[in-house]
């Protein structure tokens, strides 16, 4: 067997499989990010709110997500959760790519918890006097947050959020455990079909690294363009 | 003993040291003063290479301090440096702070290092605190231990970077006392300080710096009573105003 | 069977796998793997972290590249390389446990390297400066002055890394390692009718483990912060 045969990567069915996997991984990344961020902000606001019940519920959510590995979450949403649904919903789910949906749900919820903590840290980095000044002007709680605190918190929050994005990207690989046909799954399939572990895994590794590099470059660029302000 | 030869240093665009040339002879006590940002701390930190320079030379006992290939560790062990923030090692006792360098760099046996450290702590008035941790000492005591620590390596020259600026007023005296006794014993000292009383009492010369340049060099008596450079005059009058406003 | 019967039949399997009739598995395996992994990763992580802050470029750059590559790759990818590729090169098929352990050690070393680096950089610059000013060479400065202080401050981060490692052991499932997630799925496959409850219990198990550890890390951080106050230069400290 020749040591490194690029041909399977450059054309043919295996290339199609790998590219399809890459596409799904990227789709998962985009979808979960777009869903997790607003959810994370909402949960952060709940954690910061003056209502103990809201704070408590948000805490429970965050801790229950963060202290359980993503793999266990994926197993739950794929094997456990559909059983709780009414039969019609269950049938619809199984007809419509349940693996990807379960993966998206699991990853979104998991990372919304981490993102909410980063947003909360960002908000806490803004001096309390800012919030107090807004309230003193008569602005209600939510408006004060939205118009005064959050915009200032953004600068501090972006770097950790980009770091979470990096983690999401890497964790899309775990969806393979429930059969989601993302990059890792496809690479493993190609490997078992052709025994060409090097080629398949190199493709996957390089893809992961390139996107990681992109995200890291974005983070550096942001840091250069918007360095932390001395408050 | 120490010679600055047309030394220049930039921090990016900012010219921190401007063509500094000066000689400090053995057993001389030189005080460097000037307003904030004048470059006096930078100057003293270039002597033991805590800061690099961009052009010119600095010679210590004939050796070019900033030349490539210099054994910087051996070199630094011949210079005593006392910091504004004391920088004692918090996880070691006063005695251990003073013995760590001699022992590690093999200056004599462990017992000799210990004996010398105890003698030095006694000299700065802290023999009874030999086993105390820095957290158990006041600021003035910590700075005195820091001086003992620097002396433990038996350096021929001692550098002080604003040694009393971080101390509460009532502790400044005890540290200056130690420094004065060092000066009287013939130690070559370069001291960056705002303590004009110290300068008057023990300094052989005063260097006034502003914006990276040495603008005036004279004896303490001449400097304090008849400053020549307009900025030196401004500086001294500002100090007098602030000291009388207590 | 009722759910209570399920618990009664499988609780031991859940906790220790097929041990002693077979290899260790279940929760016990998760704990052993995580502890061993982090313990072995510590010396490497320390070494890598020190190298990252060392003044020698020829050391720094390769290590920085290694750390970047490992941190930019999913752990699962590292596991796959070790499990599928390595045997074809060495001719030796390592067990799932050893493969998982190797991958964890490599992965965690790189994360620990960053923790060590942050810990070292978090110390006031004056500590390094005064040690170097005494003439202590770089490595002695690290060993005698910087690391003793930095390691203490790193403890909460180390505990957090342990929590991450526990979660990482779950990936052993994918190569068939009998850790607790794998065992839970085995149980589910046999029992079939209680998937939700079984996976809820799996989640609860991880939760109890990781949450208590995170509370411990939090307590450590608070304790270190209050002790740190004593270490600062206090003019009011009594004679």
Q: Which chain B residues in 28-47 lie under 8 Å from chain C, judged by CB atoms?
A: none
Q: Do B138 and C131 touch (CB under 8 A)?
A: no
Report the pLDDT value the prediction gives residue B38, as an integer from 0 to 100: 85
Q: Do C181 and A71 touch (CB under 8 A)?
A: yes
Q: A63 to chain C: which residues are within 8 Å by CB?
A: 207, 211, 214
- Residue B183 half-sphere exposure toward CB, CA atoms < 13 A: 23
What would the pLDDT profile of A184-227 be if each residue is shown by its tens digit? 999 988 888 887 778 888 889 999 999 999 998 988 888 788 77
Report the pLDDT value the prediction gives residue A199, as an integer from 0 to 100: 84
Whether chain A has a CB inside 8 Å of the CB on C211: the answer is: yes
Q: Do C136 and B79 touch (CB under 8 A)?
A: no
- The answer to whether the beta carbons of residues C45 and C116 sit under 8 Å apart is yes
CA C215 – CA B43 distance, rounded (Å): 49
- Residue C42 half-sphere exposure toward CB, CA atoms < 13 A: 13
Closest CA in chain B for residue C125 = B87
Cis-peptide, bond into residue B243, ω within 30° of zero: no
Q: Do C168 and A69 touch (CB under 8 A)?
A: yes
Which residue among C73, C81, C181 places its CB closest to the CB of A72?
C181
The runs of H, that is alpha helices, within chain A are: 7-10, 12-48, 52-66, 70-75, 87-95, 98-125, 128-136, 141-144, 150-171, 183-194, 197-225
Give me the mean pLDDT over the C71-98 stretch.
Answer: 87
- Residue C88 half-sphere exposure toward CB, CA atoms < 13 A: 13
Which residues are CB-contacts of A117 (< 8 A; sequence separation ≥ 6)? A44, A62, A66
Which residue among B76, B89, B142 places its CB closest to the CB of C233?
B142
Rg over CA atoms, chain C: 22
Cα C65 to Cα A214, B29, C141: the distances in Å are: 16, 50, 25
Cα A46 to Cα A50, A60, A120, B47, B136: the distances in Å are: 8, 11, 10, 56, 44
Q: Which chain C residues in 99-158 lie under 8 Å from chain B, judged by CB atoms?
A: 124, 126-127, 129-137, 140, 144-145, 148-149
pTM for the model stands at 0.79
CA B221 – CA B226 distance, rounded (Å): 8
**pLDDT per residue rounded down to tens, chain A (231 residues):** 456 666 666 677 888 888 999 999 999 999 999 999 999 999 999 998 889 999 999 999 999 999 999 999 999 999 988 888 888 888 888 888 889 999 999 999 999 999 999 999 888 888 888 888 888 888 888 888 888 888 888 888 888 898 899 999 999 999 999 999 999 999 988 888 887 778 888 889 999 999 999 998 988 888 788 776 654
Q: B190 to chain C: which residues are within 8 Å by CB?
A: none
What would the pLDDT profile of C120-132 be if each residue is shown by its tens digit? 988 899 999 999 9
Asked whether residue C60 carries a pLDDT value surpassing 50, the answer given is yes
Closest CA in chain B for residue C233 = B139
Helix, strand, coil: what percent of chain B each, to 5? 40, 25, 35
Asked whether residue C138 carries a pLDDT value surpassing 70, the answer given is yes
- The answer to whether the beta carbons of residues B212 and B17 sit under 8 Å apart is yes
Asked whether residue C231 carries a pLDDT value surpassing 80, the answer given is no
Shortest distance between the Cα of B31 and any Cα of chain C, in A, equals: 20
- The answer to whether the beta carbons of residues C77 and A21 sit under 8 Å apart is no
The runs of H, that is alpha helices, within B61-213 are: 72-76, 94-104, 110-123, 139-151, 169-184, 196-202
The chains found to touch A (3+ Cβ pairs under 8 angstroms) are: C
Query: Low-confidence residues of chain B, pLDDT below 70?
Result: 241-246
Q: Output the CA torsion sign for A61, A63, A64, A67.
A: positive
Q: B205 - beta bridge partners?
A: B30
Q: B9 - beta bridge partners?
A: B17
- The answer to whether the beta carbons of residues A118 and A158 sit under 8 Å apart is no
- The answer to whether the beta carbons of residues C110 and C69 sit under 8 Å apart is no
Cα C176 to Cα A188, C95, C182: the distances in Å are: 14, 10, 7
- Interface pTM, i.e. ipTM: 0.84
CA A207 – CA A210 distance, rounded (Å): 5
Q: Do A67 and C207 touch (CB under 8 A)?
A: yes
Return the H-helix or E-strand segment holding B206.
strand B205-210
Q: Say whether B188 sits in a helix, a strand or coil.
A: strand
Report the pLDDT value the prediction gives residue A228, as an integer from 0 to 100: 66
**DSSP label of B228:** -
Size of interface A-C (CB pairs under 8 A): 117
Report the pLDDT value the prediction gives residue C226, as an integer from 0 to 100: 77
Q: Do B150 and C134 touch (CB under 8 A)?
A: yes
């Amino acid at each position: 067997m020749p040591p490194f045969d690029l041909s399977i990567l450059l054309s043919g069915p295996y290339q199609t499989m790998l590219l399809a996997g890459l596409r799904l991984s990227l789709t998962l990344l985009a979808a979960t990010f777009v869903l997790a961020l607003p959810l994370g902000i909402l949960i952060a606001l709940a954690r910061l709110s003056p209502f103990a019940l809201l704070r408590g519920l948000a805490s429970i959510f965050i801790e229950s997500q963060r202290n359980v590995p993503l793999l266990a979450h994926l197993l739950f949403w794929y094997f456990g959760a559909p059983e709780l649904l009414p039969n019609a919903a269950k049938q619809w789910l199984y007809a419509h790519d349940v693996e990807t949906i379960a993966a998206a749900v699991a990853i979104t919820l998991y990372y919304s918890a981490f993102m909410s903590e980063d947003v909360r840290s960002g908000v806490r980095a803004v001096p309390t006097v800012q919030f107090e000044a807004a309230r003193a002007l008569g602005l209600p709680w939510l408006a004060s947050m939205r118009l005064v605190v959050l915009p200032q918190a953004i600068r501090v929050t972006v770097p950790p959020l980009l770091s979470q994005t990096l983690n999401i990207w890497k964790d899309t690989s775990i969806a393979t455990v429930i059969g989601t046909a993302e990059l890792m799954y496809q690479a493993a399939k190609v490997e078992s079909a052709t025994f060409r572990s090097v080629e398949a895994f190199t493709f996957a590794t390089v893809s992961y690294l390139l996107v990681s590099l992109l995200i890291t470059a974005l983070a550096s660029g942001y840091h250069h363009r918007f360095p932390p302000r001395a408050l | 003993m120490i010679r600055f030869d047309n030394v220049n240093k930039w921090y990016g665009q900012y010219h921190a040291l401007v063509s500094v040339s000066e000689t400090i002879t053995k057993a001389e006590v030189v005080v460097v003063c000037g307003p904030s940002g004048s470059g006096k701390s930078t100057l003293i930190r270039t002597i033991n290479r805590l800061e690099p320079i961009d052009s010119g030379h600095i010679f210590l006992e004939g050796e070019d301090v900033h030349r490539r290939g210099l054994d910087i560790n051996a070199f630094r062990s011949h210079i005593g440096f006392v910091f504004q923030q004391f920088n004692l090692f918090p996880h070691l006792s006063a005695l251990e702070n003073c013995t760590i360098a001699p022992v590690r760099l093999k200056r004599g046996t462990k017992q000799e290092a210990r004996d010398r450290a105890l003698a030095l702590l006694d000299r700065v008035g802290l023999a009874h605190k030999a086993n105390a941790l820095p957290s158990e000492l006041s600021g003035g005591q910590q700075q005195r231990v820091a001086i003992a620590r620097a002396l433990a390596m038996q350096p021929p020259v001692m550098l002080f970077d604003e040694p009393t600026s971080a101390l509460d007023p009532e502790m400044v005296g005890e540290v200056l006392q130690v420094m004065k006794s060092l000066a009287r014993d013939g130690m070559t000292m370069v001291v960056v300080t705002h303590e004009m009383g110290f300068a008057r009492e023990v300094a052989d010369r005063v260097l006034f710096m502003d914006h990276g340049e040495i603008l005036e060099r004279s004896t303490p008596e001449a400097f304090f009573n008849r400053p020549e450079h307009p900025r030196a005059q401004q500086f001294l009058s500002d100090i007098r105003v602030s000291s009388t406003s207590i | 069977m009722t759910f209570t019967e399920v618990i009664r039949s499988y609780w031991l399997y859940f906790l220790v796998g097929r041990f002693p009739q077979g290899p260790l598995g279940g929760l016990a395996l998760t704990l052993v793997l995580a502890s061993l992994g982090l313990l072995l990763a510590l010396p490497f992580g320390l070494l890598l972290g020190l190298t990252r802050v060392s003044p020698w470029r020829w050391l720094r750059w390769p290590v920085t590249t290694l750390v970047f590559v490992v941190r930019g790759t999913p752990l699962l990818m590292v596991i796959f390389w070790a499990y599928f590729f390595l045997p074809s090169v060495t001719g030796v098929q390592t067990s799932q446990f050893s493969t998982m352990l190797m991958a964890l050690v490599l992965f965690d070393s790189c994360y620990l390297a960053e923790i060590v680096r942050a810990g070292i950089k978090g110390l006031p610059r004056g500590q390094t400066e005064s040690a170097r000013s005494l003439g202590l060479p770089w490595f002695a400065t690290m060993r005698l002055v910087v690391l003793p202080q930095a390691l203490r401050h790193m403890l909460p981060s180390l505990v957090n890394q342990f929590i991450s490692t526990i979660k990482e052991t779950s990936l052993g499932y994918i190569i068939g390692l009998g850790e607790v997630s794998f065992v839970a799925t085995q149980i589910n496959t046999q029992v079939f009718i209680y998937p939700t409850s079984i996976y809820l219990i799996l989640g609860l198990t991880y939760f109890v483990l990781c949450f208590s550890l995170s509370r411990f890390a939090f307590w450590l951080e608070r304790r270190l912060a209050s002790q740190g106050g004593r270490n600062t230069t206090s003019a009011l400290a009594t004679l």
